[in-house]
Amino acid sequence: MLNVTLSNKLDRLRQIFNESSEVLVAYSGGIDSTLVAKVALDVLGNRALAITANSPSLLPADLTAAQVQAEFMGIKHQIVQTDEMNNPNYTSNPINRCYFCKSELHDTLKPLAQTMGYGYVVDGLNADDLQDYRPGIKAAKERGVRSPLAEVGISKIEVRMLSQYLGLPWWDKPSQPCLSSRFPYGEEITIEKLRRVGNAEQYLRDRGWKGDIRVRSMGDTAKIEVPSDRLNEFMSVILITDLTSAFRDYGFTSTMLDLEGFRSGKLNDDIKVMNL
């Protein structure tokens, strides 16, 4: 049962789609865009379409998960390729890298929506995202993308509560931003580096790690981040000698465990320091 506040927010979210004829959902497979897709489907039925952008910055397992989730919900789903890796403004990894990523995404989705007769594009931006450094928000707004969760004021924890209420089995799915977020600003992003980071994170998933995990690329060093209250669990679950051997095979010369622990948006600390 939802409390009154959250029930009202869900009603307002549904109303946004009730006022729509057709809508294209920028659907990454993450919990935010999945909730948007679910509500759009419930209101609009076949007039809702989910589109997932595939590129080297997306783990293959996450693309598969997006497909599985879309099939479970019953929403129409398509995959398109995006070419942000051909843009040096993106691969040079400036502090506004996400602007160029979202520009590429929505420059692909907007004409597709127009061609297919969908009124507009919506994304999974939530209210909490507005409090962080997210240059991609500007790119989306410039292209007329709507963010229903943010419009209604739905936070990340409320996204999970609503997803559970609506029967989505992955309501507690960890956040999984694109692999390019594993690199400190200024370190060039290449397909080889993305593959290296992706292989490392998939290695940990395949060995049973559940929950938040990041493998940051610090040159040729892999820095593993897990929640600080799970550091001992990580050391007991993952066989370190096998891990370091595997990471060397992927191309890392050394591996370290961040004792501060995982924190979303940690790389943005560098931006705050620059602005002091």
Write down the pLDDT at residue 269. Answer: 65
Mean pLDDT of 39-55: 98
Phi-psi region of 260 (alpha: psi -120 to 50; beta: other; left: phi over 0): alpha
- In order, the DSSP letters of 174-228 are PP---GGGGS-TTSPP-HHHHHHHHHHHHHHHHTT--S--EEEEETTEEEEE--G
Mean pLDDT of 138-153: 97
Write down the pLDDT at residue 267. Answer: 64
Does any domain span residue 243? yes
Does any domain span residue 141? yes
Write down the pLDDT at residue 214. Answer: 96
Mean pLDDT of 70-79: 98
93 by DSSP, 3-state: which? coil
23 and 85 both lie in a single domain: yes
Does any domain span residue 34? yes
Q: What is the CATH number of the domain that holds 142?
A: 3.40.50.620
Does any domain span residue 25? yes
Write down the pLDDT at residue 265. Answer: 66
Model-level pTM?
0.93
Does any domain span residue 174? no
Last residue of a domain, one of 143, 165, 187: 165
186 and 145 both lie in a single domain: no
54 and 190 both lie in a single domain: no
What is the count of structural domains for the chain?
2
214 and 157 both lie in a single domain: no
Does any domain span residue 173? no
Above 50 in pLDDT, residue 65?
A: yes
Write down the pLDDT at residue 263. Answer: 80
Does any domain span residue 170? no
117 and 183 both lie in a single domain: no
pLDDT band at 23 (very low <50, low <70, confident <90, very high): very high
14 and 98 both lie in a single domain: yes
pLDDT higher at 275 or 195: 195
Above 90 in pLDDT, residue 76?
A: yes
What is the domain range of residue 222?
A: 179-274
Mean pLDDT of 190-216: 96
What are the b/e assignments for 91-116, b being 16+ CB within 10 Å? bebebbbbbbbbbbbbebbbebbeee
Write down the pLDDT at residue 191. Answer: 97
107 and 225 both lie in a single domain: no
Last residue of a domain, one of 139, 165, 191: 165
Does any domain span residue 171? no
93 and 119 both lie in a single domain: yes
67 and 41 both lie in a single domain: yes
161 and 193 both lie in a single domain: no
CB–CB of 175/43 below 8 Å? no
Last residue of a domain, one of 140, 165, 190: 165
pLDDT band at 25 (very low <50, low <70, confident <90, very high): very high
Mean pLDDT of 221-246: 95
pLDDT band at 272 (very low <50, low <70, confident <90, very high): very low
Instruction: Round to whole Å and give the CA distance between 276 and 274.
Output: 6
Mean pLDDT of the chain: 94
199 and 133 both lie in a single domain: no
pLDDT band at 270 (very low <50, low <70, confident <90, very high): low
Write down the pLDDT at residue 73. Answer: 98
Residues 6+ apart with CB under 8 A from 101: 57, 84, 90, 136, 139, 178, 180
23 and 158 both lie in a single domain: yes
